[in-house]
Structure 1
């Protein structure tokens, strides 16, 4: 008797699964046969960056060879091709393109996150993203990030980590990005040909000789002592320069 009950349950389960697959296939086919009327674009602005606008994405979607025409059947549109086209935009981190139940096309866009802006005297300018990518400046928006001045001979193309100095620079700006205090405090970094860095604070008048991007956490710990103990006692504008390059020393002038 128990064996018969188990067999019946198994039959019902298989029959239900087949029916479910048939219904899914039917709904999917109905979606494919629907002419769509709209492309909906959702850009994530939660990080406060506005490099991309809806019109920028529409231009990519409707570029020659990739046109999405209102009234086209949903099944005739290659969503993967549209995703690939959108993801080639220098400020797009990720794109997801799909159909809704009404057959309309939806595109969800995530932007890349810049953490520093680099410039040199040779006219080169770009952003460094939190992934170490080098992306161009934007005509739409200027991100409020730390400014980095590099030697005129440096022109990073794809990644800031193309050489040892670039790796050190990325480690430095990543550290600032991760620290709420130092991110607010440091306005500018100047790096010379040897990779030596000078930091310029937002508020106080003294500049900081930091040296190379080595022992970063230790050097910032010394700077924290300078800002929380030395300056309150001696006066915020007493010193013109503070040097944390040397081990176990804070040199103030």
Structure 2
């Protein structure tokens, strides 16, 4: 009985080994058959989230030619080093991923995924570049047709995704993604300035005030409080009544009055309507240059608005305090430059 069992095991093992060897032989034969064939052509596919192509098919062909592939069509398939060709393509700053393979018709398929810019960054030294969703630094391109959030006063000449600036980069990516997802804020936030302590000050398109945002934490709630303040307060008081609006503290909006401002509720409502229209008619990635007016000193009034308990309907009832002496740091100019085909907007 034991002998019969052993014979069955031996026969089964032999059959499996024979089958495995046959599969290997067939694969080797198929590969050899494929390698003896020549490439009949190529097909290049470029994918990008924004639909904008920052690298074209000719540039990809030039990169492939630099790998020694030479003329692609009618070249023996065995002469192609696909992994090396993928590596060469992925060294291009605009290419996030590359995949090359031959299909059943001996056509070389080149599938490329582009990097997508999500923000434009200006450094303290005056350099400018794009940043993608992975925090990779990208060069400027005239092919970009979409409006991007703008960050100014970035502390270093290059993006550093590790080390001291890693949290700052994460917060910049989060703020940029949020603003891009909301047409209202895309139209209203002209730029976000990085302060010396790596917090954010937002500069609006409409209104001559600065928005103290704090760090990038709890950003959705901060934007919500700011929107409520715009709708319930600035629509009644006018957009030039406050020199600074702070939303950095949880559950609070702190507005600092300007001296000598006039309440114009009709103009305030028009400003709200204009922002909504701007959100519907987004401009291209034009960055406008205009100087930021310094804050008026001394600060005369301050109102803390908690849990959206804002101000009475007359829109002008605030608590007056004695002027305090405040040493304001020098105000940085807006690092925003217009395209030649767009006229700069007068926001004052």
Q: Do structure 1's residue 57 and structure 2's residue 60 form an aligned pair?
A: yes
2 CA distance for matches of 1:2 and 1:135? 68
Query: For the residues of structure 1 that align with 2:179 and 2:126, how far apart are their CA atoms?
Result: 31
The 3 A distance-change label for structure 1 pair 141 and 225 is closer
CA distance 1:57–1:8, change in 2 (3 Å): same
Contact preservation (8 Å) 1:244, 1:251? yes
Match of 2:103 in 1: 100
RMSD: 3.1
Residue number in structure 2 paired with 1:132: 135
2:157 is equivalent to residue 155 of structure 1: yes
Tell me the distance in 1 between the aligned counterparts of 2:207 and 2:96.
Answer: 36
Query: Is the radius of gyration larger for structure 1 or structure 2?
Result: 2
Superimposed CA distance per residue, residues 38-63 of structure 1 (whole angstroms, 9 cap, x where no aligned partner): 12212223453422222221121123
Contact 2:67–2:84 (Cα < 8 Å) also in 1? no
Q: Does 1:70 align with 2:73?
A: yes
Distance 1:72 1:168, change over 3 A: same
For the residues of structure 2 that align with 1:81 and 1:177, how far apart are their CA atoms? 35
- Distance in 2 between residues matched to 1:66 and 1:204, nearest whole Å: 58
Question: Which deviates further from its counterpart, 113-122 or 19-28?
Answer: 113-122
**Residue 120 of structure 2 contacts residue 150 of structure 2 at CA under 8 Å; is this kept in 1?**
yes
5+ long unaligned stretches in structure 2: 258-348
Q: CA deviation at 1:101?
A: 2.6
Q: Please give the alpha-carbon distance, in whole angstroms, between the structure 1 residues aligned to 2:232 and 2:220.
A: 19
Partner Cα separation in structure 2 for residue 129 and residue 202 of structure 1: 24
Structure 1: which 5+ residue stretches go unaligned? none
**Partner of 2:227 in structure 1?**
227
Deviations 1:175-211 (A, max 9, x none): 2245478654254212244534221356777541224
SS in 1 for 2:109: strand
Deviations 1:13-32 (A, max 9, x none): 22222111111111111111
